Chains A and B, each alone.
Chain A
Amino acid sequence: MKVKYIINGKEEEYEIHPGEVLLDVLRRNGHTEIKGNCYLGTCGACTVLIDGVPHTSCTILAAKVNGKEITTIKGIGELDSPHPLQQAFVKTGAVQCGFCTPGAILSAYALLKKNPDPTEEDIKKALDGNLCRCTGYVQQIEAVKFAVKLLKEGKNE
Chain B
Amino acid sequence: MLKLKGVEEVYYPTSVKEAVDLLRKNKDVAEVVGGGLDISVLPNPRIKYLIFLDKLNLNYVKDAGEKIKIGAMSSITDMINAEPLKDYLHGRVKEILSEIATELLRNQITVGGSLGKREPYSDIVTLLYGLNAKVVLSDGEWDEELGINDLYRENFRKGLKERIIKEVILEKYDTGKFFFSMKRHIRNATDIALLNEAILIEKDGNKIKNAIVAVGARPKPAYLFREATEFLKGKELSKELAEEFGKFVESNVETGTDIRTTAEYRAHIAGVFAKRIILESLEG
Give me the interface of A with B, judged by CB distance under 8 Å: 1, 17-21, 24, 39-42, 44, 47, 53-56, 58-61, 63-64, 66, 107, 125-130
CB contacts (< 8 Å) of B3 on chain A: these are 19-21, 39
CB contacts (< 8 Å) of A41 on chain B: these are 37, 41, 104-105, 108
Is B52's CB under 8 angstroms from A64's CB? yes
Is A54's CB under 8 angstroms from B103's CB? yes
Chain-A contact segment, one of B7-15, B63-71, B131-139, B224-232: B7-15
Q: Any chain A CB within 8 A of the CB of B259? A: no
**A21 to B40 CA separation, bound complex (whole angstroms):** 8
Is B104's CB under 8 angstroms from A54's CB? yes
Select A59's contact among B5, B9, B10, B37, beta carbons within 8 Å: B37
**A107 to B104 CA separation, bound complex (whole angstroms):** 8
CB contacts (< 8 Å) of A126 on chain B: these are 103
Is B41's CB under 8 angstroms from A59's CB? yes
Is A19's CB under 8 angstroms from B7's CB? yes
**A64 to B4 CA separation, bound complex (whole angstroms):** 13
Give the total of B residues in contact with A, Cβ under 8 Å: 32
**A106 to B12 CA separation, bound complex (whole angstroms):** 29
Q: Any chain A CB within 8 A of the CB of B98? A: yes
Contact with A along B49-66 (1 / 0, CB 8 A): 010101000000000000
Q: Any chain A CB within 8 A of the CB of B120? A: no
CB contacts (< 8 Å) of A39 on chain B: these are 1, 3, 41
Interfacial residues of chain B within 95-121, with CB under 8 A of chain A in the complex:
98, 101-105, 107-108
**A108 to B215 CA separation, bound complex (whole angstroms):** 35
Contact with A along B2-33 (1 / 0, CB 8 A): 11111111101000000000000000000001
7 contacts between A and B (CB under 8 A): A40-B41, A44-B104, A54-B107, A59-B108, A61-B39, A63-B10, A63-B50
Is A56's CB under 8 angstroms from B105's CB? yes
Given A40-B41, A63-B52, A19-B2 contact (CB < 8 Å) = yes
Select B33's contact among A20, A64, A127, beta carbons within 8 Å: A64
Given A61-B33, A61-B50, A19-B6 contact (CB < 8 Å) = yes
Is A128's CB under 8 angstroms from B102's CB? yes
Query: In the complex, given contacts A19-B3, A61-B36, A64-B36, what are 15 additional A-B residue pairs having Cβ atoms less than 8 angstroms apart?
Result: A1-B10, A19-B6, A20-B3, A24-B1, A41-B108, A44-B104, A54-B104, A54-B107, A59-B105, A60-B36, A60-B108, A126-B103, A129-B103, A129-B104, A129-B190
A4 to chain B, nearest CB (A): 13
Select A55's contact among B7, B41, B101, B104, beta carbons within 8 Å: B104
Is A60's CB under 8 angstroms from B7's CB? no
CB contacts (< 8 Å) of A40 on chain B: these are 41
Select B104's contact among A20, A24, A56, beta carbons within 8 Å: A56
CB contacts (< 8 Å) of A64 on chain B: these are 10, 33, 36, 50, 52, 54
B41 to chain A, nearest CB (A): 5
CB contacts (< 8 Å) of B37 on chain A: these are 41, 59
A59 to chain B, nearest CB (A): 5
Write the chain B residue with the least CB distance to A20.
B2
Is B2's CB under 8 angstroms from A18's CB? no
CB contacts (< 8 Å) of A107 on chain B: these are 103-104
CB contacts (< 8 Å) of B9 on chain A: these are 18
B284 to chain A, nearest CB (A): 24
